[in-house]
Amino acid sequence: MNRKACSIAISSGKGGAGKTTLSVHLADFWHAQKLPVALVDADVEEPNDALFFSFARNESHPSFRSVAKWDESLCAHCLRCKGTCAFNALLASHQKVVVYDTLCHGCGVCVHLCPHKALLMSPLQIGSITDGMTTNGLRVVSGTLDVGQELAAPLVHNTVTFAQEHISEETILLLDTAPGVSCSFVAAVESVDAVILIAEPTRFGRFDLELAVQALTKLERPFGVVINKYEPGLDCIHDYCSSQSIPILGCIHQDTDIARALSEGSIIWKDFPMLSKALESITNQVLDRKRKQVLLR
């Protein structure tokens, strides 16, 4: 979908780097600055953006993906479907066909090959999408995967699509993605205009950042980096970004008081000038690059 406003994902190569902290604070900061923004929690296996806000309203919608189903009354047991599934979700014999929902990716190959129409695509509920408005007027959309469901990427796709279709095209979509470089990450970032990667200035942080950079480079998504928990002398992320010509959008310094306040699950940027200044710097970098049409790398 072509949107007038951009969509920006906030991602990290690993969990615990500060992805959700940056997402909720940047969204709240932009909203306070009168920028048209909506927050989309696309980390559907562990959605927690909503915990930071009080809501005036919340509406939940079921979400589905397509899986193959067998109709025994139409089956001639010809075994044309046997061995066709690349994910081993289908077992066929002369007596019965079994489709495992948890393995089925909904590609439809078996349905296409069945000459008797005994296999058809059927909707399977995999979770829910919550559309909410905070008490201060920030729109928050969250996807939540049902317990027992193993494929998160379809719900990520559904959550992002829901936000694109139900939120004004003049509104910037700020996506909080799953950590790492899994299928859920790819499903969230494949349609965005740019990605903000947040990283810790450690060897592990650099290694995981490099994986995320490799993935985004292959996906041809522009990106920049925010360094979290920075302390003077911890320059491994600076050095890596400099060597790869990756723009650094800002630094959030290590602060025990900030960490303690965040542990209470509150939006705290108004109480900490250092954090407010960092968010302002990140905002100016992103908006300036957007105006110049060189949004990130």
Q: What is the pLDDT of residues 12-43, one digit of tens each?
A: 988 889 999 999 999 999 999 999 999 999 99
Q: Where are the domains of the chain?
A: 7-53+138-291, 65-124
pTM for this model (two decimals): 0.91
The average pLDDT across 137-150 equals 96
Round to whole Å and give the CA distance between 126 and 23: 25
Q: What is the CATH number of domain 65-124?
A: 3.30.70.20
The CATH number of 7-53+138-291, from 3.40.50.300, 1.10.238.10, 3.30.470.10, 2.102.10.10, is: 3.40.50.300
Distances (CA, A) of 125 to 62, 64, 92, 122, 145: 7, 4, 25, 10, 10
Which parts of the chain are beta strand (E)? 7-11, 37-41, 55-70, 90-92, 97-99, 119-134, 139-145, 172-176, 194-199, 223-230, 248-253
Q: Is residue 164 very low, low, confident or very high in pLDDT (cuts 50, 70, 90)?
A: very high
The predicted pLDDT at position 4 comes to 58
